[in-house]
Structure 1
Amino acid sequence: MKLGLQLGYWGALAPGNSHVELAQEAEKLGYDSVWTAESWGNDAFTPLAWIGAHTSKIRLGTSVAQLSARTPTACAMSALALDHLSGGRMILGLGVSGPQVVEGWYGQPFSKPVSRTREYVNIIRQVMAREAPVTNDGEHYPLPYKGPGAWGMGKPLKPITHPLRKDLPIFLGAEGPKNVAQTAEIADGWLPLYYSPYRQEVYADQLKGAKEGFEISAMAMVNINDDLEQALYPVKAMLAFYIGGMGSKKRNFHKELMSRMGFEAEADRIQELFFEGKQEEAIHVVPDQFADEISLSGSKARVKERLEAWKDSPVTSLLVMGDTSLLRDMAEMVL
């Protein structure tokens, strides 16, 4: 199993040079990859380029770049440029985000996320292959554009710059069953938000179509603390926020995933409490079992023991967040 450093997206304040320093430490320790994210603050590509300029070997991934933030060809241009500048270290991680962000921040419809993803990936593959001018007859990203307001002068184009790699890896962040199955079919890797190595059957059928070499880079919060209750608290707080607040009452993909993993009643209650403004109560409703399964929590000895379940799973890379001390502990246990 490989390790990756997940830096996520920024909070209210920019992280300064700390993310570069963490990435450099991860590279020294033998980590395979470093990942940056975006929500509705910083973008994913700019910090990754900055980190790439200060490292030399570690792979550089977006986890994830949101589809609605840029057109497929614009996204391909960023990936193409970063792959060249880094000497072939780029991993393009993509995701649809959710209706609140897509419609509230980007001002675009969220409809048909699965077919939108397929079109998006197909266009990027065409750009990277550079075998013919890029075209697309789909309803989401028509190329050339011929809809309302068109001048009728659109011309299919190839990228001016020859991509460094035709097969630049594309990973997808996916949660719903159809989206995960499509990921196994069209992508080179999968970025699950929650993964339990103890419930591999939840995704087994959806991953059957994966090609040889398919990667699964799973996020696992790591909290080393001899007090298990304290170690699990940050995991439960994160879960309560995503399951309770990252979505609407109608649709919340994180809540739906928790339900599919066997905790439907608890997921309903967490959302109910969160919408009532009772966030602390919602955190306490998150089952210890669920938080424990998707994280690595407890004493160092316990974490080391529970790592065996991850090693016996289809997961190829474990993405962790933490300070230099935690990075070293994980390198010692895994690498």
Structure 2
Amino acid sequence: MSRWGMTIPMARVPLAEHREIVAGLADLGYTDVWTAETNGADAFTPLALASQWAPDLRLGPAIVPVYTRGPALLAQHAATLADLAPGRFVLGIGTSSETIVRGWNGIAFDEPYKRARDTLRFLRRALAGEKVTEEYDTFSVKGFKLDKAPDVPPPIVLAALRPGMLRLAAREADGAITNWLAPADVPKVRAVLGDEPELIARLFVCPTADPEEARAVGRWMIAAYLTVPVYRAFHEWLGRGEALAPMNEAWAAGDRKKALELIPDEVVDDLLVHGPPDKCRERVREYVDSGLTTPILAVMPGGGLSPAEAVRALAPGA
């Protein structure tokens, strides 16, 4: 069986109330828990809790931005999680977006490819216990050494949406993380990444038998994500540029309502996993059959299910 991950924290569940859900994931057939970092919980704190609540699960952030922490602090965070969960922690890093980096944190979003590459190279050395003094293209480090390097250095996986980052992930990382794609898109990503590296994707899942309920959820999310330049370029590469052009034009003109209306049903159905839970599980398996190594489910409200009920209903063995 492939890996089968769950995103935490879950919507509408306070972090302190996740213990029972997380502790039961392995018994339901889940293998992983993964976080994200946008404008909610930070990526590392939920994983620190999960490392103690669920000693059999693999843990990872998908992703932490390479700009919003200094390289040494990022290494410290990773070393802490690797110490809490030896052999079970995977570090997912990526450039994030200009909105998060520049707009929310006031940090220049310059040379993202080089920043990701430089951070990856620094982390390899730091997490192996080396003392690092290096002038990288996008930052410099002078004499940093972890007080206690992890006994098991964590694998590092790289957020990659297009060929340049995918090739970097194939050359220097232990895998790639992608997002917002359909099963039919996976072979195109695999063709660049190669067959061997782990390929991880967060899949947004709305377990409802009402397609209009799901599409209403999906349209808001697609508009929020796919108007961001990196995602817009990703879907142009995947071949959805023409289908999404009306949405992007309306969004750029400030007409949010019109932008939502202009997203075709077919695009929503391609990118959002929805339907009764058994159909959702079948759809997730389509991704795996197409070449995805690790699906990470992100449960959206729908179908009248509580988050805990949705976790049970979407479990691989349900």
TM-score under structure 2 length normalisation = 0.88
Which residue number corresponds to residue 188 of structure 1? Answer: 174
Which residue number corresponds to residue 278 of structure 1? Answer: 255
Cα distance between partner residues in 2 of 1:295 and 1:26: 23
Q: Is the 8 A contact 1:25 1:324 kept in 2?
A: no
RMSD: 2.4
Q: Residue 57 in 1 paired to residue 74 in 2?
A: no
Which residue number corresponds to residue 216 of structure 1? Answer: 199
TM-score under structure 1 length normalisation = 0.84
Q: Is the 8 A contact 1:40 1:105 kept in 2?
A: no
Cα distance between partner residues in 2 of 1:258 and 1:159: 40
Q: Is the 8 A contact 1:102 1:109 kept in 2?
A: yes
Cα distance between partner residues in 2 of 1:299 and 1:69: 39
Which residue number corresponds to residue 269 of structure 1? Answer: 246
Q: How many residues align?
A: 310
Task: Quickly say closer, same or farther: Cα 1:14–1:197, change in 2 above 3 A.
Answer: closer
Cα distance between partner residues in 1 of 2:168 and 2:192: 8
Report how far residue 96 of structure 1 moved: 0.8
Amino acid at match of 2:68: A
Q: Which moved more, 1:234-243 or 1:284-293?
A: 284-293
The 3-state SS of whatever aligns with 1:191 is: strand
Which residue number corresponds to residue 44 of structure 1? Answer: 43
Q: Which moved more, 1:111-120 or 1:94-103?
A: 94-103
Cα distance between partner residues in 2 of 1:65 and 1:282: 29
Cα distance between partner residues in 1 of 2:168 and 2:10: 26
User: Taking every aligned residue pair, what percent have the same amino acid on both sides?
Assistant: 27
Q: Is the 8 A contact 1:5 1:319 kept in 2?
A: yes
Once the two structures are superposed, what CA deviation does each residue of 1:197-223 show, in whole Å capped at 9, x if it has no partner?
213343243213x6x4x2112111222
Which residue number corresponds to residue 316 of structure 1? Answer: 293
Task: Quickly say closer, same or farther: Cα 1:136–1:205, change in 2 above 3 A.
Answer: farther
Report how far residue 107 of structure 1 moved: 2.6
Cα distance between partner residues in 2 of 1:92 and 1:108: 22
Cα distance between partner residues in 1 of 2:46 and 2:106: 24
Task: Quickly say closer, same or farther: Cα 1:206–1:34, change in 2 above 3 A.
Answer: same
Cα distance between partner residues in 2 of 1:30 and 1:199: 26
Amino acid at match of 1:100: T
The 3-state SS of whatever aligns with 1:199 is: helix
Q: Residue 133 in 1 paired to residue 131 in 2?
A: yes
Which residue number corresponds to residue 152 of structure 1? Answer: none
Amino acid at match of 2:246: R
Quick check: which has more Rg, 1 or 2?
Answer: 1
Q: Is the 8 A contact 1:221 1:296 kept in 2?
A: yes
Q: Is the 8 A contact 1:226 1:298 kept in 2?
A: yes
Report how far residue 265 of structure 1 moved: 2.8
Which residue number corresponds to residue 303 of structure 2? Answer: none
Report how far residue 51 of structure 1 moved: 2.5
Q: Is the 8 A contact 2:82 2:88 kept in 1?
A: yes
Cα distance between partner residues in 2 of 1:201 and 1:82: 32
Q: Which moved more, 1:52-61 or 1:276-285?
A: 276-285
Report how far residue 190 of structure 1 moved: 1.6
Q: Residue 161 in 1 paired to residue 148 in 2?
A: yes
Cα distance between partner residues in 1 of 2:139 and 2:198: 27
Once the two structures are superposed, what CA deviation does each residue of 1:226-257 show, in whole Å capped at 9, x if it has no partner?
2333333312221011123xx3xxxx111122
Q: Residue 80 in 1 paired to residue 79 in 2?
A: yes
The 3-state SS of whatever aligns with 2:157 is: strand
The 3-state SS of whatever aligns with 1:88 is: coil
The 3-state SS of whatever aligns with 1:202 is: helix
Q: Which moved more, 1:173-182 or 1:275-284?
A: 275-284
The 3-state SS of whatever aligns with 2:232 is: helix
The 3-state SS of whatever aligns with 2:192 is: coil
